Structure 1
Amino acid sequence: MTEYLLQLAASPEAWAALITLMAMEVVLGIDNLLFISILTNKLPEDIRPRARRIGIGLALIMRLGLLSTVAIIVQLVHPVFTVFGHAFSWRDLILIAGGLFLVWKATKEIHHAMAPHEEQEAALGGTLQMSFSAAIVQILILDLVFSVDSIITAVGMTEHIPIMVIAVIVAVLTMLLAAGPLANFINRNPSIVMLALGFLLLIGTTLIAEGFGAHVSKGYIYTAMAFSAGVEALNMMVRRRRPAGAGH
């Protein structure tokens, strides 16, 4: 085992795969982090950090657990049944279910954000009562979906388990460091909430499309997200420079 690790450490190809995989895992973690940030911001302020840590910790445990069963995970891409000439695998079904859940959740949050203030206040008590356990369960569902997709992608890039483990740990630690600042930024800027929910709708729709065999390049998705975020950043700069009470 030690000799194998030493050979791996001396291989330029292994280092290239590690760097590429770490970057990919961090980028893929953005989807998961957005969901966790929006969901935990609905909890009482004093338990938000703990919910984020537990949610991201569960993501790490789940991904490392899936890596230990990588031989089974690889089998998830094999067709299990066919409908109208299209073969579906377990991975497809997981992506479709996760995408539907994400679309439902984002739509529900958009409806809540657009509801009159009185209606929001009436729903607030129920939201806080289900609070911590409900948030963790929902985070766990999305952790599973993103973890399966992440591990299958990693397996396609390298056959070395240590490289996958390091990439996953680095990505999750990055999520852990970024979770608090991102959640606080979203909480301080209400317009960002709607933009982030729009991103989640886009991601959910993409997962459903992937499940049905329509591949959508992640580059297009993240370029659209970056462009929208850039436009919103300009809007925020304009609003901050506009004198108080000035007209639109």
Structure 2
Amino acid sequence: MDWRGRRGSRNIEDRRGARVGSIGGLGGAGVLAVLLIGWFLGVDVTPLLEEGGGSPEPREMTAEDQAAAEFVSVTLADTEEVWTQVFREQLGAEYQPPVLVLFSEATRSPCGGASGATGPFYCPLDRKAYLDTAFFATMERQLGASGDFAAAYVVAHEIGHHVQNELGILEEANTLRAGMSEADSNAVSVRIELQADCLSGIWARRAEQRFGSLEPGDVEEAMNAARQIGDDTLQRNAGQRPMPHTFTHGTSEQRVRWFERGYVSGDLADCDSFAARDL
């Protein structure tokens, strides 16, 4: 991905180096969420959940950290231009971009505590995406998802959730989930995540057309990342038998297919995972 020397976004909130309270201060639901995500990613989150740890030492920023932050800023700027264009052309509406919070080790959000164990996420309550760029190293070293466009896919996926929020889809889906059984709620979650994958595919297509920033192999890097973080693959890599009723993001095959669907089409209407009979 050709990103160096290009415009970065102003919608970055940099909390790296800031001290925050211990993750041990999370409520029971927050602790459970961290444990589950850590289990899926194969990350030992025990040190993050210890009580009485006080404020963790901020991670010292390295040249690699700074380059990663600049990369995220450029990628975010690209999403802003792409989605502004898509909203105007396909919806006749104005796109309101989110803020992306960079943090190191841990931070807080209205949706709960964030840490390196939770991975990147989007919080609809404050319309912000949260990312510790150290997650990119986790992707490469532990998940087998290397390459700068694999990292760009992660950013684009979280911004895809913001697009869903802008369209009212996320609130409606989460309201629906609140009255469901766990298995049914998980099934709706899969549709949310696959739609975000499709939206990230639209972004990739538009970025290629608008900026000429994609290089040979970039799309395959994104699809490989989608493949490596499929629920079935994560469960197998954790030594577990895949259990479809526990899936919350979709299988590897589904995630790749929905990303590719958005990339080939470029049309929001083709990303309606909620209307699809077969995922």
TM normalised by structure 1 equals: 0.29
> 1 or 2, which has the higher strand percentage?
2
Greater length-normalized contact order (CA 8 Å, ≥ 6 residues apart) = 1
> 1 or 2, which has the higher helix percentage?
1
TM normalised by structure 2 equals: 0.26
